[in-house]
Structure formats: structure tokens, C-alpha cells
Structure 1
Amino acid sequence: MSDTLRYFLTYRGAGLPLTLTEELAEADLRHRNTWFEARYNGAGQLVAIDKRVYGDIEMQHRYDYDADGRLWRATVTLGEDEPVVRTF
């Protein structure tokens, strides 16, 4: 199965993976300055988030899951900072 790309306005909560809310259609992006691009794998797991501001990537999240489908690693990059890796 291939990855699926979806778009969102914002997220809620502080846990990982982020809970994205207010889904946007791709056509809606023409009228937005900021949005989140979310990539889901074939199993429906959220594997990547890019926060876009005026088209540039301001924040990245990458998620890895174990064989049972549980989150085991999250890599978060903010701007030009070094990535922060959390394992669970």
C-alpha cells in the first residue's frame, strides 16, 4: 500500500504523535499561509508531519512504530535546530 498525504489546520494536545485537527482540502492551501502536511503509511499510521509556513518547512515530526504498531521513536526538528529523538 502507498502513503497517503493529508492536510490540516492545527493540532491539539501535547502527546506524540500529534493529534491533527481541522482537515483541509488540497485546494484550500492556496488561501493559507500555514498548514500541516501529514503522511500516513499503508497501515494508516501517522509517519511524518511537516508544518509549512509560506511554503517553507518550519517543523518536522517523524514517527517510527514497532511490529505491534506502537510508537517507539519520534524525531522532532524545529527550524534549523538539531533533531530531538525520543524513544518510548
Structure 2
Amino acid sequence: MTSDVNQECRFFVSYSGVKLPFNLVNPIPAEGLSHRNTFIRAYFSKAGTLSGFDKVVYGEVELSHRYEYHDNGVLRRAEIVMLDEEPAELIFDNAAGPMKVAGIAGQEGS
């Protein structure tokens, strides 16, 4: 997955939708984080594309998404990690159709 280094980091209250990549909503200025127990820390490429986010709850990362895209801008791969669960990988064709769902450690599923 793409490294979060050298990417723009922005903060949000939450996300909406069920389709990947999630839609992040209600931006928060960095100086407003001290008043929040839960927030989304999002990473954007230099072109402004969402490359991933972490849902932070009471200082711990509860959920992480990392995204890769096809050359046409359509989601190609999503890596999803939830606290206390096995990581999952979703692969999409260049028309955003699901191709494969697998555990990161190679456990196949669908």
C-alpha cells in the first residue's frame, strides 16, 4: 500500500456510505482535535485522492482503510484493518467491480 509519508493529512468527524472508498464528512481543523474523543485522520495524495484513513477513538486506531487506484481513478485495492480482527483485502477491476476478497494473511473468502 502507499506510504502515508509525504501525503496531506486532514481530519474529519466521520464517514458516510457503504461503497468504498468511504466519503469523509465534516472536516475538523487540526487545532480542534483536543476537544474530540473520536475523529478520522485521513491521508490524501498530492493530487487530492483519498489514499487511506484511520478512525481514532480515545487515542487508539479502531479502524484503518488504505486504498490504491487504477490509472482511470477507479478503486483497485482496499486494505481494511479493524481492531481485534484479521485484516482484509478487497480487489476491484477497473470498472469498480469486486474481483476478490481475502484475508491479508492469504485466507480466502467471498
Deviation at 1:80, TM superposition (A): 2.5
RMSD between aligned residues: 0.9
Runs of 5+ consecutive residues of structure 2 not aligned to the other structure: 1-5, 93-110
- Secondary structure of residue in 2 paired with 1:43: coil
Counterpart residue number, 2:98: none
Number of equivalent positions: 87
Point out which structure has higher relative CO (alpha carbons under 8 A, 6+ apart).
1
Runs of 4+ in 1 over 2 A off after TM superposition: none
Structure 2 residue aligned with 1:58, among 55, 62, 87?
62
Give the TM-score normalised by structure 2.
0.76
Structure 2 Cα separation of the partners of residues 18 and 62 of structure 1: 11
Counterpart residue number, 1:80: 84
Q: Which has the larger radius of gyration?
A: 2
Q: Does 1:14 align with 2:18?
A: yes
